[in-house]
Structure 1
Amino acid sequence: MEQSLAIAVGFIAVLSLLLSPKAKSDGAFFKGLSPAGEQPGLLLLIFSQVTTWIFARSLLNAAILGFYYGVWGTLAYAAYYLSFLTGAKIIDSVRFQHGFTSIQAFLDDRFGAWGTRCYNFVVGIRLVSEIFANILVIGILFGVAGSSSYMFAVIAFAVITLVYSMLGGLHASLRTDLMQMILFLVVLVALTILVIASGNATLDNLLFKPFEITDPGPILLLVALLQVWSYPMHDPVMMDRGFLADRDTTRKSFLHAAWISVICITLFGTFGVIAGAQAQSGEAMNAVLLRILGDVPMLLFNVMLVISAMSTLDSTLSSSSKLVAVDMKWVAPNVRNGRMTMATFMLVGLLCVFLGNKDLFSAVAVSGTASMYLAPVIFFSLWGGKTDIPVWSYLATFLLALTGAALYFIESAGHTQLLGNYHKYTKLLFISASILIVGCVFFWLGSLSNSQKQRMQVAA
């Protein structure tokens, strides 16, 4: 099966290279403009949104959560894709209501230099973690960590994706996203048909885990419903695509991406649910799927992971170059510097893979917790229209969220038991709720103190 998978990877890579015209302008490389200077259309933007957010680690997470916690685990992960709905509202407010050209511009206006420093820090970690996680998934598909096949797969995949990403920047990413999404949908439909035809997609299998509000699946669903308010704002891939087209096209692209993504993730996650219902004691998910489905469905399963990893990587590299050159202004925003930035981020991601630290893989999950410092920003400063929130409220909430993310990281990895012997998702719910509530209190107090100062100044 590895040989067939390698052929599939080669085919997708060749198509991606053929669809990646060399960027001849900064507009094509950083803004996704066509050679004629045109903005991306609705279908292109929808498919790009979906395929860049359904990345390899997401598919595996949805299936693994279904394997262990039933359909409720899969639905919990699918709930994170409601971020497209909150993301649409965030973009509409930042860009079309307040008139800012980027998230950084909005934060700089409200909180000055510290506003952008904190945000860029979180975004930078998010980008590196996405590169790392998707490359790692590809390596696992081809061999045991540290083996020659694993090392070759990791390096070859990274080089292929980097080459076509460097050629055309964001414009190439959008074009390849369209092709990759079409392939993804074709494979997903084929795999779903095969699973149904196998007779394993029964109601008993899908509902093998009963609903209990205290179980990890429903608990994670509550966590997702708390984190979707801030999660999209810290994801540069999603936010970047909110500044490419006109208002109507942008709004529709987010709304359609939401329901398409939820369906895709739920479908893929049900494969894990079916495996969990028929797993024997100590049997791994992939082994169960191979046993009950056979070689061809498992090949399609792995091909979907490859497609999603490649589509996410090229978009992540494009956002990395934009972050450094356009948003942070560390280098001049030209094609040469954009390509050098892509290579640097890819190198950092590869170094993380070769460190071989399992905790680094777990660290990907904490980004949603760290992003929650943005929830009060959205509620008070963006949607609430308050321009008088002091910087201390912003910084205090940022430090609170980082502390919460770090606490979840060490608790979920088993390094500490500061929050007791509860399941890690129960701890995550407690941490997320605490950050949201206390962060909003910080912003409320900051707004109150500024209002009092203004009244005193008027009285004087």
Structure 2
Amino acid sequence: MDYVLPAFAGFVALASVVLSPRAESEGAFYQGLGANGSQPGLLSLTFSQVTTWIFARSLMNAAILGFYYGIWGTLAYAFYYFSFLTGGKIVDSLRFEHGFHSVQDFLRSRFGPWGTGCYNFVIGVRLISEVFANLLVIGILFGVAGSQAYTLTIIGFSAVTLLYSMVGGLRASLRTDVFQLVIFFGTLVLLIALAVGSQTVQLQDLWFKPFVFDQPGPILMLVALLQIWSYPMHDPVMMDRGFLADRETTRRSFLHAAWISMICIIAFGCLGVLAGAHATQGASMNETLMQLLGAVPMLLFNAALVISAMSTLDSTLSSSAKLLAVDMRIMKMTLRNGRAVMAVFMLVGLLLVFWGNNDLFSAVAVSGTASLYLAPVIFFSLWGKRRDIPLWSYLFSFVLALAAAVLYFTESSGYSQLLGESHKYTKLLWLTLSVMGLGCLGFWFGGWLKREEKSP
């Protein structure tokens, strides 16, 4: 049994390499175009959206939040997947109402170099955190942090993923995403069937935590519902897939990705909820699940994490290449440059795994808090079509969100207690409300001043 998971990981890795078409043109590598220049279809685009957002970190977080905070913790994480609905609206407005080819083009037209500079910084950090977090989950599955198995697994996994990503770019990512999601669906269905059929768990276990508004689970649900307005715009993987197909295909892919992703996240997270209902003091989630379900379901649990980690990593690397070569335009859009960028991002992610912070949800919360600077941009400049917002309003929102993200990280990690003794998710809620409120106020006031200056 000890060799089954490594063998499964090897099979998925080998199949992904075999399925990856070699990119012969920049269009295939950066835009996912077929050999004849065709755009991805609805199934391919939807499955790619789903599998790139159901990453290993997400599955683990949904289960862990369920373990500690009950079904409300899992639902809170699932609520982040409403981002597909807001993200679809953002993409539709950018492309078909404003006529832009990327988020950077829009921000450049509204706020100049500072607009793109701030944005590229935030999504650059986001991409690196994705590499780091998914490699970290893989390492934990195969060994204790710092062990030889942990180290070798992470290095081998990163090498294989980097190999086929460099070969095919975004085209390879789209192709392997479909295969990987089909395998993931099969694994998840079998896992849930075994869990439901187990005599040791009952459906009423899902409600072992009552709904109490001021508890961490419900509070995090509210945080998610606030952050989904800006969260998708700062996710380059989602945004990149919004510019690949025609309007109707793109709209439908975002809609279907939303409900499919939420079902998967809730189903997987419920395993953590069941573990929390039966956990003894001091027991971990994995230990409890092993006692409840046995070795085979736990093998499937870990297999699902392996698949999701690989499917996210290749997409993250593709978006990293596009960020530097296409969106930031700091190098020529060549295959060689794109592959070099992928290697650099993977290396930085590896360095963070071995010398960085190991709190998985901190990366999500910090990233989501930093993205809040985009909320007034979306409300006023994108959907409101306001062109009278001054640069200082944009920079004020950016600095405010970045400061809040840093403050949340220090508070949640125990480095500071400036916000008192309340739970870290309560602090996150107040920070989210403050950044959104003050950011929108800055945009409104900046626009008002501009109008006053122009009035006779």
Match of 1:435 in 2: 435
Corresponding residue number in structure 1 for 2:237: 237
Aligned to 1:193: 193
Change (3 A) 1:440 1:222: same
**Which structure 2 residues correspond to residues 75-154 of structure 1 after superposition, within 5 A?**
75-154=75-154
Instruction: Please give the secondary structure, in 1, of the residue aligned with 2:3.
Output: helix
Cα distance, 1:416 vs structure 2: 1.0
Deviation at 1:79, TM superposition (A): 0.1
The runs of 5 or more residues in structure 1 that have no matched partner are: none
SS at match of 2:117: helix
Aligned to 2:33: 33
AA aligned opposite 2:35: P
How far apart are residue 212 of structure 1 and its match?
Answer: 0.3
Match of residue 3 from structure 1: 3
Cα gap change, 1:224/1:200 in structure 2, threshold over 3 Å: closer, same or farther?
A: farther
C-alpha distance 123-181 of structure 1, shift in aligned 2 (>3 A):
same
Q: How far does the alpha carbon of each residue in 1:388-447 deviate from its partner, in whole angstroms, 9 at most, with x for none?
A: 100000000000000000010000001111111100000000000000000000000000
1:255-334 equivalences under 5 Å are: 255-334=255-334
Return the alpha-carbon distance in structure 2 between the equivalents of residues 164 and 337 of structure 1.
16
User: 1:62: which partner in 2?
Assistant: 62
Q: Is the 8 A contact 1:94 1:106 kept in 2?
A: yes
Output the aligned Cα RMSD.
Answer: 1.0
Deviations 1:46-78 (A, max 9, x none): 000000000001000000000000000000000
1:23 alignment partner, SS class = coil
Q: Distance in 2 between matches of 1:358 and 1:176?
A: 28
| 8 Å CA contact retained: 2:132, 2:353 | yes
- 2:92, 2:251 within 8 Å by CA — same for their partners in 1? yes
Letter in 2 for 1:308: S
- The residue identity in structure 1 corresponding to 2:17 is L
Whether the 8 Å contact between 1:352 and 1:360 is mirrored in structure 2 is no
With structure 1 as the length reference, what TM-score do the two structures score? 0.98
Corresponding residue number in structure 2 for 1:202: 202
Aligned 1:361-380 pairs, distance under 5 A: 362-380=362-380
Alignment length (residue pairs): 456
Shift of residue 362, structure 1, vs aligned partner: 3.0
Aligned 8 A contact 1:200 1:274 in 2: no
Task: Tell me the equivalent position of 2:340.
Answer: 340
Q: Name the aligned partner's letter for residue 267 of structure 2.
A: L
- Checking the alignment, whether the CA contact within 8 Å between 1:376 and 1:439 is kept in structure 2 is yes
C-alpha distance in 2 between matches for 1:81 and 1:330? 32
> The residue matched to 1:281 in structure 2 has which SS?
coil
Does the aligned pair in 1 maintain the 2:57–2:360 contact within 8 Å?
A: no
Q: How much does 1:36 deviate?
A: 1.0
Q: Aligned in 2, Cα 1:200/1:41: closer, same or farther, shift over 3 Å?
A: farther
TM-score (norm 2): 0.99
The 2-side partners of 1:174 and 1:10 are apart by 20
Deviations 1:322-345 (A, max 9, x none): 000000011100111000000010
Question: In the alignment, is the contact (CA less than 8 A) between 1:165 and 1:172 conserved in 2?
Answer: yes
The code of the aligned residue for 2:142 comes to F
Report % sequence identity: 66
Q: CA deviation at 1:358?
A: 3.1
Cα distance in 1 for partners of 2:355, 2:152 equals: 16
Closer, same or farther: CA 224–446 of 1 in aligned 2, 3 Å = same
1:143-201 CA deviation, whole Å, 9 max, x = no partner?
11111100100000000000000000000000000000000000000001000110345
How many Å separate the matches in 2 of 1:317 and 1:231?
19
